[in-house]
Amino acid sequence: MLDRFCIKILKTPLETSATKLHNCGVSANQVTLFGFLIGCLTLPALITEHYLLALFFILFNRLCDGLDGAVARIEGITDAGGFLDISLDFLFYSLVPFGFILANPDQNAIAGALLIFSFIGTGSSFLAFAIMASKQGIENPIYKHKSLYYMSGLTEGTETIGCFVLFCLLPQHFATIAYIFAAACWFTTFTRIYSGFNTLQ
């Protein structure tokens, strides 16, 4: 829901940083992989309940996610790069609630599992429509610079990052926040399925 606004705000600083990385010979795929590896450090930080450190790794990962796209637009967007980026993004999204489950399984297991379950809904509806939209030549007028069709919804990347930030700042309330965000994700899933089915018909 908020991605389109955040993209406009971050466009200039990301493009400036991406140009510097490109001039240093850093590729978009290298940024993607480096960001994912740093993001994976979130898991041990969460398990050991170092939540502010985990927050740093989360934000660093998301910064790299913005930078790799900006670098890719300089190099030229490729299907392979887009595939790598979205695959690692969804893995990272599930890693965060999994870390909170491992940190406190007695309190967080059910809420964390439900949130991961809801991510399956948002992710599968998102990717399934992107595949069909590509086959039918449907383009998204809002996200023209993306390598695949980005279907909007109540919960997008910006909202997910905001949720993760709340998790790290208020870890004692993980379950409550997770239940609320999972409900929002399911709303997104059902609206995507409904609008996607009708669009493709």
Question: What pLDDT sits at residue 4?
Answer: 65
Residue scoring higher pLDDT (88 or 151): 88
- Mean pLDDT (the chain, rounded): 91
pLDDT digits (tens, 9 = 90+) for 49-74: 999 999 999 999 999 999 999 999 99
Query: Domain extents for the chain?
Result: 3-200
Residue scoring higher pLDDT (190 or 8): 190
- Token pair, residue 144, equals 């023209």
Position 11 pLDDT exceeds 80 = no
C-alpha dist (Å) from residue 171 to 113, 174, 177, 178: 16, 5, 9, 11
- Residue 52 burial (CB < 10 Å; 0-12/13-18/19+)? exposed
Question: What pLDDT sits at residue 140?
Answer: 66
C-alpha dist (Å) from residue 48 to 5, 15, 45, 163: 35, 36, 5, 20
Q: What are phi and psi of 139, to 5 degrees?
A: -110, 145
Residue scoring higher pLDDT (141 or 86): 86
Question: What pLDDT sits at residue 201?
Answer: 84
Contact by Cβ (8 Å): 188, 154: yes
Read off the pLDDT band of 99 (50, 70, 90): very high
Q: What is the distance between the terminal CA atoms of the chain, rounded to a whole angstrom?
A: 24
DSSP category for residue 156 = -
Position 116 pLDDT exceeds 90 = yes
For domain 3-200, which architecture applies? Up-down Bundle (1.20)
Residue 189 CA to residue 197 CA, distance in Å, equals 12
Question: What pLDDT sits at residue 130?
Answer: 87
pTM for the model stands at: 0.88
Residue 155 CA to residue 171 CA, distance in Å, equals 21
Overall average pLDDT of the 146-172 stretch: 87
- Token pair, residue 24, equals 């240093």
Lowest mean pLDDT among 76-90, 142-156, 165-179, 186-200: 142-156
Question: What pLDDT sits at residue 1?
Answer: 66
Position 181 pLDDT exceeds 60 = yes
